[in-house]
Amino acid sequence: MKRRARLEPGKLLVRRTELKRGDCQMKRTPLRSVSAKRAAENRRRREMKNELWPDGIRPRCVVPWCAHLADDIHEPLTRARGGPIDHPDNSEPCCRDHNGELTREPEWGYRYDLLIHSYDQRPLAQQAADRRAKLAAWAPREAA
Ligand SMILES: [Zn+2]
């Protein structure tokens, strides 16, 4: 639009046309903190946890040399690797320390199938069975 009147010093500019967007009449919808899909997934995870370990009784940490009670549920096939967070065969009780340590991918995590590579083709039930066999076979080293 071409300006017809000259700008005068000290005179305020006045809008002559309405804004097409961005006025306060627009409907504002707040963002959800969790998507509906993720909320449903979290609900199934809570139900699974209550089925596996009812009455809020905490099992022992899955790491065989750990004597602590579990604080968290560890997923050997992580969500980032496409693992489900609400599947009993992909859930192991874990203390907070070991869950944090497993996040840093120690060698022993892969050795005991507590960490699974994304390219591992075994079904979850087979991974869980192999993991339980390897954990059961663990024995403390004889003191020399
Ligand atoms: Zn532990």
Q: Is residue 31 part of a domain?
A: no
Q: Is residue 23 part of a domain?
A: no
Q: Is residue 77 part of a domain?
A: yes
State how far the Cα of 84 lies from the Cα of 78, in Å rounded to an integer.
8
CA 94 to ligand 1 centroid distance, Å:
6
Distance 2 CA to ligand 1 centre (A): 73
Q: What is the mean pLDDT of the chain?
A: 88
Amino acid 101 reads E
Residue 24 lies in a domain: no
Domain boundaries, position 65: 36-136
Domain count within the chain: 1
User: Ligand 1 centroid vs 31 CA: distance in angstroms?
Assistant: 37
Residue 21 has pLDDT above 80, yes or no: no
Phi/psi for 69 (5° steps) reads -85, 155
Q: Is the pLDDT of residue 143 over 50?
A: no
Distance CA 99, CA 71 (A): 9
Within-domain flag for 75: yes
Q: What residues have a C-beta under 5 A from ligand 1, the ion? A: 61, 63, 66, 68, 95, 98
Q: What is the dihedral of CA 19, 23, 25, 27, to 10 degrees?
A: 120
CA–centroid distance, residue 64 to ligand 1 (Å): 8
Structure-token pair, residue 100: 């944090």
- pLDDT tens digits, one per residue of 33-66: 899 999 999 999 999 999 988 888 899 999 999 9
Q: Give the integer Cα–Cα distance in Å for 42 and 92.
A: 16
**Cα of 93 from ligand 1 centre, angstroms:** 9
114 CA distance to ligand 1 middle (Å): 12
**Rounded to the nearest whole angstrom, what is the distance from the C-alpha of residue 80 to the centroid of ligand 1?**
22
Report the pLDDT value the prediction gives residue 2, as an integer from 0 to 100: 76
Whether 98 maps to a domain, the answer reads yes
Query: What is the predicted pLDDT for the residue at 144?
Result: 42
pLDDT digits (tens, 9 = 90+) for 85-117: 999 999 999 999 999 999 999 999 999 999 999
DSSP structure string for 32-86? PSS-HHHHHHHHHHHHHHHHHSGGGPPPBPSSTT--SBP-EEE-SS-GGGT--SS
Q: Do the domain assignments include residue 86?
A: yes
**What pLDDT was estimated at residue 15?**
79
8 in a structural domain: no
- What 77-81 contacts at long range (C-beta under 8 Å, 24+ apart), as own/partner pairs, is 77/116, 77/118, 77/120, 77/124, 77/127, 78/115, 81/116, 81/117, 81/118
